[in-house]
A = this chain, B = another copy of it.
Amino acid sequence: MVLEEELDLTKNLIDKELHNLFEGKFGYQDRIFESIKYSLFTGGKRIRPILLLKICELFRGNYHTAMPFALAIEMIHTYSLIHDDLPAMDDDDFRRGKLTNHKVFGEAIAILSGDGLLNLAFETMLDYSLKNSNTLDEYKRNIRAAYEIARYAGIFGMIGGQVVDLLSNEINMDNDKLMYMYEAKTAALIQASVVAGTILGEGDEDDIQRMREFGLYLGLAYQIRDDILDEKEDRLVDKVTYLSFNKLDKAKKMVNHLSQKAFEILNYYEDRDVEFLTKLVEFLVHRDY
């Protein structure tokens, strides 16, 4: 298996389904459909939905039942980027080499597009759950997956982390608070993806707990790896990162330690096909771009 090929294949499936959401939809509010599609299709790697689908596949053998939840995770990720880029937040003009949403559509439409995407994520999960749950167990799985995603995305998860990020500076920040911020801001949506994937894949309570930890290790490793890659840039703008409190060598060791813990959890499932997931984790924590 070539990782890039499998990533592309899954990404294309996700992109097709994301397109389908807006197929034949038009009305007086067309401008928000345009704006949402603009941001959904600006070259995202679809890491979170791919993780959700592939973890579901690990447990269930396929990911047919997980697609609406994968789309929801990507919509939530995209809305958070649109709002993050706003002038009142990070004030970014470019993302992935393209103009940010508010630079193209204006701030008001950017705010409403973010709101619309977050709302659409839940509409999509609820609509699917309503139409595709034939037994009490199916309902429970679908609603539990949606709830986990909601919880990790909200004020006790990702949004909570963004608040801490926003209000933090070199003076009021310390390593504990930074680790909370990384857990909430970065790891939470990755945990949401793998936990929802496990639930939808009919994993048991132990599997769910294992994957909750796997997501945390992966998310933190990914974020600290990011700090290492962006070290020079971040120092120029006085950004508080893991490297503000820890030496480079310590940071590298931490990335290795965290990814080791993630691999250990994958190894627990070595009698199944974990090749793709193992390669994906390697790719995410050892990427050099």
List A residues at the B interface (Cβ < 8 Å). 25, 27-29, 31-33, 36, 79, 83, 86, 88-89, 106-109, 111-112, 114-116, 118-120, 122-123, 126-127, 129-130, 133, 135-136, 139-140, 143-144, 146-147, 150-151, 153-156, 159-164, 166-167, 177, 180-181, 184
Q: Quick one: which of B29, B123, B163 contacts A163, CB cutoff 8 A? A: B29
With A123-B147, A146-B126 in contact, is A115–B164 under 8 Å at CB? Answer: no
A36's partner among B25, B116, B155, B177 (CB-CB below 8 A) is B155
Asked if A154 and B120 sit within 8 Å, CB to CB, the answer is: yes
**What are 10 A-B residue pairs whose CB atoms fall within 8 Å in the complex?**
A28-B164, A89-B111, A112-B166, A115-B115, A120-B154, A123-B147, A126-B147, A127-B151, A133-B143, A136-B136
- Establish whether residues A144 and B130, one from each chain, have CB atoms under 8 Å apart when the complex forms: yes
Identify which of B88, B155, B177 contacts A120 (C-beta below 8 A): B155
Whether the Cβ atoms of A154 and B108 lie closer than 8 Å is: no
Q: Which of B139, B154, B160, B164 contacts A123 (CB 8 A)?
A: B154
A30 to chain B minimum Cβ distance, whole angstroms, is 9
Chain B neighbourhood of A106, CB < 8 A: 88
A106 CA / B167 CA spacing, docked (Å): 11
Task: Given A130-B143, A160-B28, decide whether A89 and B108 contact each other with a Cβ distance below 8 A.
Answer: yes
Task: Please give, as numbers and ranges, the residues of chain B lying within 8 Å of A140 by CB-CB distance.
Answer: 130, 133, 139
Given contacts A126-B146, A147-B130, contact A109 B166 (CB under 8 A): yes
Considering only CB atoms, which chain B residue lies closest to A166 in the complex? Answer: B108
Q: Are B32 and A163 in contact (CB under 8 A)?
A: yes
With A123-B150, A136-B139 already in contact, 15 other A-B pairs whose C-beta atoms are closer than 8 Å: A28-B177, A28-B180, A29-B159, A79-B115, A109-B166, A111-B111, A112-B159, A115-B159, A116-B159, A119-B153, A119-B154, A122-B150, A133-B139, A133-B140, A139-B140
Q: Pick the contact of A126 from B118, B143, B159 — CB < 8 Å? A: B143
Given known A122-B122, A143-B126, A177-B28, contact A33–B111 (CB-CB < 8 A): no
Give the shortest distance, in Å, between A144 (CB) and chain B (any CB): 6
Closest Cβ of chain B: how far from A49's Cβ, in Å?
18
Q: Which residue of B lies closest to A167 (CB)?
A: B31
Bound CA–CA A207/B32 (angstroms): 33
